[in-house]
Amino acid sequence: MKIHEYQAKQLFKAYNVPVPDGNVAFSVDEAKKTAADLGGFPVVVKAQIHAGGRGKGGGVKLAASMEEVETHAREILGMTLFTHQTGPEGRLVKKLLVEAGQKIKKELYLSLLVDRATASIVIMISQDGGMDIEEVAAKTPERIIKIHVDPLMGIQGYQLRQAGFALELPSAAMKLFSGLLLNLYKFFIANDCSMVEINPLILTSDDKVLALDAKVDFDSNALYRHRELMDLRDLDEENPLEVEASKYNLNYINLDGNVGNIVNGAGLAMATMDIIKNAGATPANFMDVGGGATSEQVENAFRIILADDKVKAILINIFGGILRCDNFAQGVVDAAKKTGINIPVVVRMEGTNVEKGKKILSDAKLNLTTAVDLFDAAQKIAAAVN
C-alpha cells in the first residue's frame, strides 16, 4: 500500500527523520494559511499524488511570495498531472503539500528495499539524487552503492558510516546523516515497509540533511499488524475496479489488453496471461478467484471484468482441485444470466467433476465456446478478439 508524501513525512517526523516544515492543504485558502504559518519565503507547493516525477510534470513549484503561493496552488489543485509514472490518463490532483523552501547544496539519493534474493534489507545510496534514478542505474550503475543489512543483526554502526562516506558528506553532516539512516531503518522495520525512497535527500547550505521527498510502500500482507496505517489508504489513487475486486477477496489487477480472464490460482493466472500473449492477444487483467471460489465470487468477477470497456472477450480457465468444476460452472451460468454477457466467452475446464461441469454449461444454452485444452483456448480467444 502506497501513501502520499505528506503522510510519509508525518511518519518520518515521529521517527526523528528530519523533513522540512509544512502541511497538507486541500484548498487554495488552506495553502495560503499554511504558507503564512511557515513565516517566510520561498515556500514550495507540491502536488500530492501516488506517482513520482511530479517536478518535471509541473507539480512542484517554488513560491517567492503569497501571491505566487496563490497562483501555484490555484494552478496545481485540480490539474491532471502527467508524469512517467501516472500512465497516459494522468492523475487528478486533489491535495497539496505546502512546505518551507530549502537552500540546497546537493541532491542525494537514499532508499531501503526488501531484497528477496539475499534475504536482506538493501540500502541504496547515490550522490546523483534528484534526477531519474532509473537513468543513473542504466547509464552509471557504479554511482549507486548498495549496502545489505541482515534483518536479524539490524543496521550496524559501520554500515551507517559506510553510507555517509559513500555520499562524501562533509564531517559536520555525518552525524546527522547517521541518525537519519538509523531512524529510517527503524521506521522501515517497525512498519513492515517494502520500500522507502527519499529522492532527493538534501544537504542544505548549512550542512543539514533532510528528506525533501518521501515515498513509502507498505507490505499489504502485513497491514493487519498495523491497523493505524490502514487509515492512510487513499482510494482516489487506486484503480476503481481493483478497489471493487478487493471487497470480494478477488486478486485482480487491471492491465491494458482486451482479453478479460478468470482463473483460479495465481500460478495458473500467470500461465494464462502468457498463453494469451503467445496466441497474439493481450490480457486486460490478472484475475485469481482463488482455490475455493464461491458462485458469488464468480459472479462478482464477471461483473468487474465486464465493467472494463477494454474487454472484448473473456477466457475462463479453471482447474478443479478444491474448487469443483460443477460448482464453478453453476456460478458461471448464474453470473451469465444475471449480468447478461454480450461478448464472446471461451471456457477451458479440467479436474474434479469436469463432466458434470461441462454438462451444466451446455444445458444452460449460453453463448459459450468450450476449449479442449489450454492451447485450443488460447487460439479461440485470440480469434475472438483479432
Task: Using CB under 5 A, pick the residue from 48, 86, 126, 199 that binds Mn ion.
Answer: 199
Residue 90: contacted member of Mn ion, ligand GDP, none (CB under 5 to 8 Å, by partner type): none
Binding mask 108-137 for ligand GDP (x = CB under 6 A): ----------------------x-------
The neighbour count for residue 190, using CB atoms within 10 Å, is 11
Residue 2: contacted member of Mn ion, ligand GDP, none (CB under 5 to 8 Å, by partner type): none
Q: How far apart are CA 132 and CA 52, in angstroms?
A: 10
Residue 321: contacted member of Mn ion, ligand GDP, none (CB under 5 to 8 Å, by partner type): none
Task: Using CB under 5 A, pick the residue from 5, 213, 237, 288 that binds Mn ion.
Answer: 213
CB-nearer residue toward ligand GDP: 61 or 380: 61
Residue 107: contacted member of Mn ion, ligand GDP, none (CB under 5 to 8 Å, by partner type): ligand GDP
Catalytic-labelled residue, pool 6, 109, 185, 252: 109
Catalytic-labelled residue, pool 5, 107, 197, 237: 197
The residue behind cell 471461451 is: 346
DSSP single-letter state for residue 131:
S
Cα 269 from chain centroid? Answer: 20
Is residue 75 flagged as an active site residue? no
Q: Is 263 helix (H, G, I), strand (E, B) or coil?
A: strand
Residue 359: in which H helix or E strand, if any?
helix 354-363
Footprint (CB under 6 A) of ligand GDP, residues 332-371: none
- CB-based contacts of 139: which residues, under 8 Å, 6+ apart? none
**Among residues 237, 377, 385, 243, which one has the least CA distance to residue 304?**
243
DSSP single-letter state for residue 143:
G
Amino acid at 86: T
Footprint (CB under 6 A) of ligand GDP, residues 192-211: 199-200
By the rule CB under 6 A, 73 interacts with ligand GDP? no
Residue 265: contacted member of ligand GDP, Mn ion, none (CB under 5 to 8 Å, by partner type): none
CB-nearer residue toward ligand GDP: 31 or 361: 31
Is residue 109 flagged as an active site residue? yes
Binding mask 210-229 for ligand GDP (x = CB under 6 A): --xx----------------
Residue 260: in which H helix or E strand, if any?
strand 259-263
Least CB distance from residue 131 to Mn ion, whole Å? 9
Closest residue to Mn ion, judged by C-beta, is 213
By the rule CB under 6 A, 382 interacts with ligand GDP? no
Rounded to a whole number, what is the distance in angstroms from the first to the last CA of the chain? 36
Footprint (CB under 6 A) of ligand GDP, residues 250-309: none
Site residue total, ligand GDP (CB under 6 A): 16
The residue behind cell 558528506 is: 169
Q: Is 366 helix (H, G, I), strand (E, B) or coil?
A: coil
Residue 53: contacted member of ligand GDP, Mn ion, none (CB under 5 to 8 Å, by partner type): ligand GDP
Least CB distance from residue 203 to ligand GDP, whole Å? 12
Cβ-contact 349, 293 below 8 angstroms: no
**Among residues 105, 273, 57, which one has the least CA distance to residue 202?**
105
Q: How far apart are CA 85 and CA 339, in angstroms?
A: 34
Q: How far apart are CA 267 and CA 354, in angstroms?
A: 20
Q: Footprint of Mn ion on this chain (CB under 5 A)?
A: 199, 213
Catalytic residues: 109, 197
